[in-house]
Structure 1
């Protein structure tokens, strides 16, 4: 990092209580990152870009800092209009002191934002254990809505997308790794580089095809948990990248990958899998083959950024924490680029047998990251009717012809996902032998392993579970369940019947043991 200009006067001004009107009750809190200084004063936050020059980020002159501050305001108002207030100038008075928005020479520009509690950051929630599956799913909905609303870009407009964009990012990563052998062991980097470039070569046609198909957009670019907060109770994306279109004008799945990677590095693969499946609630799995490369690249970028952030810290404990995060991130990057053969898992059982609870827990345990695609018939049926996953459907939505359509769509999506290299869990009642056989036929055609599990639970236990459901996608009642029981499931053949009447953890252990048999 090269410091290009002296900003000490601006930093001293922003650190004083009496610089602000109204004056805050406490001294401003100063937060330093590798690219900015943030001062928290009263109910406002003021962000000053550091006068630094990196290969990927140049804030080296006042004019560049002004231009990029204006761009940051414009871009982030797309996702957080209530958070971004405006731009303030630091100007010099005739006496030589600094003030906000005076008539004198502009010395620096700062971005004024609405201040929020640190506890509103998803990163803080992840650290203190309050980040819930429901909030993660709402955040995934918000990310998907943001991506869907953005305009598609051509190859010329999206330098970070396609094979050319990814090649540039990868080359920069390895250049910076090579320049810091103290933090990135050359032997590990060499092994990682071999796997990355092999994967990149295989994916080059798909990366370019996704640009032609409209998946390159002006995205957030830095979508990790420290850049998502709750504003008025809603997940809000902020602090998107403005300084380098190589990082922001990218494939939407590359944007999503940083969010997922951050959860994985924090050892919340359960939440990463939830977000992954919620983002793809309506399918569109054709680009999934790119995700391992995208995830790994994001983890690698996080590794080098943690090193840069560590070097900006004054406290040794903070520096050590960030360097440990960098090491974990690089290890995750190396793991995420590995090639793993997909598998198909079928779960069957009458309503209330615990299929979806099992599928959700199981999906996060499978590789590659962020786990299996969980295809749930209840959710697919709701989306066919344009409804939210938990919205009740009319009785006509459960006609046999609709159910046949749901099962056919599940198979179609499963095939797409499996061809992309990800495991699939097909979660439905599956009480008809022909539906179970269709899954096995798909697995045989794709030459992959299939495991089918039928969950056996006494009817009264299923009735109790149904009675205690809240906010679930299933509309099945006890009456529906008892009709299913009376009809039966026919011969299970190669499917394995398991006792699922105990705690969910016990059922999960039984299934995991079955999945590892003969591996």
Structure 2
């Protein structure tokens, strides 16, 4: 995909002049409309509304060259984006010219353009803006992952003929486009590095091709968003909202659901927020279902490579030197991320145990992004699994019956089954539970051995006073443990720990993390 040329196929000047005048709106906005032109659209911000028309352009990948095509794609944009943002996409207005030549909204004359009316929102509520000012929170990212998962689950599955962007052939087309762009830009993409990257990607593509095609057969090819980076997610009425999904080319939007997710994860990674990328990753797979994970490194790398080439194309069109340099810097970071994400990785299984309040989940969250492959280990937390078993959100307390021994045994079985599935798919796993029974610890080690991956077990050693203080300070946590529960656990003890390493976790979280990293041989 290239955005370098911009040749208009039809004269839209009359429509643009009309939309630029405040008096043509009802009610008129307090200020003159702000005009934003992109490669594919003209947007006018007027009061609390945004008005968008397709730009009369024709590219191989996006053709708005005739009025009929602009009408059809405006309707498609409305219908598709109402799946995720019905409160944002309000409707379509006809821009008409009467017999006297006067232009109006929804007049009696012939239509000269079709205008998508949208609710306007504060640009500071875009997730990319929030990332720039450090305003993204774990809670927001987890809610966003929930939204993406729900959207993917609700979307209708497509057959191979209707999903040209899915399967091995669909991904191969994108990958080869990337390589062609890298070859055409040797000043920005070192030919030797690009060649090594291309060889590795082609190898992984051939290895995963059967699974890529099987996922189409299994219903994971859908009309997704297609462009799911942070700039296309905003906070509306306090909730993350996906908008501006691709309607103009099925190659870009009728894709594998995990390829759709990969752009979101890749964007967070490239912005240096691997912690949030890992949170989103774990949250998206809240209920397991890891069959497609062997494809994820290739999906992530391809998304990062796409971003690298787009940033170069955008930089070439910039007259402002600082902006141009920033885009080139982003391209370099994206290309390096693409290379890292496709490298071979050896998964590991980590068990974290300790009484309630010892800091197990804090250590797991801090450690997970550091394990390979990108975006890190899947964090399996017994407290969250228990809540999902009972159909409850993580923060909702459960009755005492939910903690019977038979229920706890089921929770551990599910945790171990998911751990094995993730390990076999090539991803590291962190098992976060009390793990005070020797048989539970032995079962974890057995799963790792069966999957032929290394195992490291950590027991967090903390005084009862510190654990009690931490429990008292919890809010909105998945754990229902009280101080009394913790003291009963401590009274029972943990038995012989065997190969599990004790970590002093009574101090700052950073100290416990450094100890765990040291035992794992991480830098």
Q: TM-score, normalised by structure 1?
A: 0.95
Q: CA RMSD in A?
A: 1.9
Partner of 1:65: 70
Q: 1:99 to 1:304 in 2, by over 3 A?
A: farther
Q: 1:428 to 1:365 in 2, by over 3 A?
A: same
CA distance in 2 between counterparts of 1:104 and 1:176 reads 46
CA distance in 2 between counterparts of 1:313 and 1:106 reads 35
Aligned pairs (5 A) from 1:179-258: 179-258=184-263
Q: Is the 8 A contact 1:4 1:61 kept in 2?
A: no
Question: How far 1:37 sits from its partner (Å)?
Answer: 2.5
1:33-77 deviation line (CA, Å, top 9, x unaligned): 332222211111112222333332222333322221111011111
SS in 1 for 2:160: coil
Q: 1:100 to 1:323 in 2, by over 3 A?
A: farther
CA distance in 2 between counterparts of 1:365 and 1:12 reads 53
Of the structure 1 ranges 392-401 and 99-108, higher mean CA displacement relative to structure 2 is found in: 99-108
CA distance in 2 between counterparts of 1:11 and 1:315 reads 25
Q: Is the 8 A contact 1:306 1:323 kept in 2?
A: yes
Partner of 2:520: 515
Which of residues 1, 4, 7 in structure 1 aligns to 2:8? 4
1:372-391 deviation line (CA, Å, top 9, x unaligned): 10000111111111111111
1:88-143 deviation line (CA, Å, top 9, x unaligned): 23334556564433344433322110101112211111111111111111111111
- 1:168 and 2:173 matched: yes
CA distance in 2 between counterparts of 1:307 and 1:242 reads 24
CA distance in 2 between counterparts of 1:440 and 1:406 reads 17
- 1:269 and 2:306 matched: no
SS in 2 for 1:53: coil
CA distance in 1 between counterparts of 2:67 and 2:309 reads 26
Q: Is the 8 A contact 1:463 1:478 kept in 2?
A: yes
Q: 1:255 to 1:111 in 2, by over 3 A?
A: same
Aligned pairs (5 A) from 1:221-370: 221-311=226-316, 313=318, 315-370=320-375
Of the structure 1 ranges 377-386 and 25-34, higher mean CA displacement relative to structure 2 is found in: 25-34
SS in 1 for 2:162: coil
Q: 1:115 to 1:60 in 2, by over 3 A?
A: same
Question: How far 1:304 sits from its partner (Å)?
Answer: 2.5
Question: How far 1:268 sits from its partner (Å)?
Answer: 1.0
How many aligned residue pairs are there? 518
Q: Is the 8 A contact 1:92 1:99 kept in 2?
A: yes
Q: TM-score, normalised by structure 2?
A: 0.95
Question: How far 1:165 sits from its partner (Å)?
Answer: 1.4
Question: How far 1:364 sits from its partner (Å)?
Answer: 1.4
Q: Is the 8 A contact 1:303 1:330 kept in 2?
A: yes
Partner of 1:87: 92
Of the structure 1 ranges 507-516 and 456-465, higher mean CA displacement relative to structure 2 is found in: 507-516
1:347-370 deviation line (CA, Å, top 9, x unaligned): 010110000011011111222211
Partner of 2:496: 491
Of the structure 1 ranges 300-309 and 287-296, higher mean CA displacement relative to structure 2 is found in: 300-309
CA distance in 1 between counterparts of 2:191 and 2:110 reads 48
1:393-434 deviation line (CA, Å, top 9, x unaligned): 111211112111111111111111111111100111111111
Aligned pairs (5 A) from 1:380-395: 380-395=385-400
Partner of 1:146: 151
